[in-house]
Amino acid sequence: SISSSAASESDSEQLQKEQHARSVLREGFLRCLLSMTNKKVQFQMYENVKVEATFGASDIDVLNFQVSDLHTPIGVQKEALIRCQDVISFTFDI
């Protein structure tokens, strides 16, 4: 692909703006995860399942949450991983 220098300049400016926005947003999200550590979190999942657990950590690409004391309908699971794909939303108090 051939691009004029003017085009590539405005492209890189656009890219820089986008990267800045990305970093601001990611920082906000990471602060949210940080403030959630060791707190009781209510997860709303598919099939109308609601569970509560103590939040531990998330992997960087937000695919799994590590939680403790997961209260499920069939008992309490001491340690668990929750697949983020199964989660609709979650809430906690700050």
Partner 1 sequence: MDCDWPLLGPLRWLHYVNKQVKVRTGKGDEHSGWLLSVDPVSASAVLLTFSETAASVRVVMGHAVKEVEVLREADEVTAERLRAALLPPSPPSLDP
Kindly list the residues in this chain that would bind partner 1 in the complex (CB under 8 A).
Answer: 17-19, 21-22, 24-29, 31-32, 34-36, 44, 46, 60-62, 84-85, 87-94
- Closest CB to partner 1 among 30 and 76? 30
Cβ proximity of 40 and 83 under 8 Å: no
Token readout for 33 is 């995860």
- Closest CB to partner 1 among 72 and 85? 85
- Closest CB to partner 1 among 16 and 76? 16
Cβ proximity of 66 and 83 under 8 Å: no
SS3 44: strand
